[in-house]
Amino acid sequence: MQWRLVRSLTPTRLGKPLSTIPFIFHGPSHSRPEVEKSPIEDIVAANLDHYRLNTDYKHGMHFTALPTAFVTGFDKASNLRIGSTTAWVTDTLGATAGYLEFKGDGLMTFERALDRVERLLTVLGSRLLESQKRVSESAAALAIRQAGESSIIASISTSVTASMNAVLRWVYWWHSTEAKPEDVTPEHLNYSLNTDFDSTLLSATEIQASGLSELSGCQQTLQHH
C-alpha cells in the first residue's frame, strides 16, 4: 500500500498561517504529553472487582434462590404439576418427593468478598480528600498551611484549571485581534476550579458516604458502557 498526497491545507487566522497547533494536554498534575498514572486507577480496579463479584453473586442467586421440586420412584411418564389444587400420588414403595434448597457457604463467600471490596473503595475514595502530609510538620500546622489545596482532588483541580485556561485563551485569541496567543493574559480571561476539598471539614460518616457515592457512580458508568 502506498500513500499519496491528495491536498494540503494551511490553517489561517485573519489571513495569516498559525504558528503552532492549538492543542492542550490534560493531566492529573500537569499539561505535558507524558502519561501519568490516574489517581483513581486503584478505585477503578477495585470497582471492576466489585462489578465481577456482584455479577457472580447475582448469577449464583439466580440458580439457587428458588427451591426445585424433585421426586423418586414415580412413573417417568407422570405429568406432575405444582399448586394447591394438585397432589403427587404413587403406589411405588419407597417413593419420595421434596424440594431441593440451597444450603452451604457458597453465596456467603461472595457476600463477604463484596463487603471487603466496598470497604476498600470507601478507604480509597476518602484518601482522595486527604492532605499530603510531610514528616516535618504537625497535622494541625499542615492543615492550616495547605488550607485544603493539597489533596489529590485539589491537585487535579489545579492542573485542569491551568490547562483549561490555556484552552479558553486560545478560544479568546481566535476571536480577538491580539497578534499572538501569548498576548492573551489573565487580565483578559481567567478561569478557576474549586480547590477547597479539605477533608477535616467532613465527619467520618460524610467521608464514608463520599467513597460509596464514587462506587455508585463507577457502577453506573460500567452499566452505561
Residue 168 lies in a domain: yes
Residue 180 lies in a domain: yes
Over residues 218-224, mean pLDDT: 49
14: left (phi over 0), alpha (psi -120 to 50) or beta: left
Instruction: Dig out the grid coordinates for 224 from the structure.
Output: 452505561
Residue 171 lies in a domain: yes
Evaluate the CA torsion angle 161, 162, 167, 171 in order and state its sign.
positive
Q: Is the pLDDT of residue 115 over 50?
A: yes
Comparing CA positions, the residue from 198, 195, 188, 191 lying closest to residue 161 is 191
pLDDT in tens, 168-213: 999 999 999 888 888 888 888 888 888 776 655 556 666 566 555 5
Residue 167 lies in a domain: yes
Residues in the chain: 225
The total domain count for the chain is: 1
Residue 207 lies in a domain: no
32 class by beta-carbon count within 10 Å (0-12 exposed, 13-18 middle, 19+ buried): exposed
Residue 69 lies in a domain: no
Q: 163 lies in which domain range?
A: 149-197
Confidence at residue 29, expressed as pLDDT on a 0 to 100 scale: 85
Residue 156 lies in a domain: yes
The answer to whether 204 and 43 are in contact (CB under 8 A) is no
Q: Is the pLDDT of residue 127 over 80?
A: no
Q: Is the pLDDT of residue 19 over 80?
A: yes
Secondary structure E strands in 40-86: 68-72
Over residues 53-61, mean pLDDT: 87
Residue 42 lies in a domain: no
The answer to whether 143 and 131 are in contact (CB under 8 A) is yes
Over residues 140-165, mean pLDDT: 70
Instruction: Dig out the grid coordinates for 117 from the structure.
Output: 471490596
Mean pLDDT taken over the chain? 78
Per mean pLDDT, which range of 112-121, 125-134, 139-148, 198-207 is the poorest?
139-148
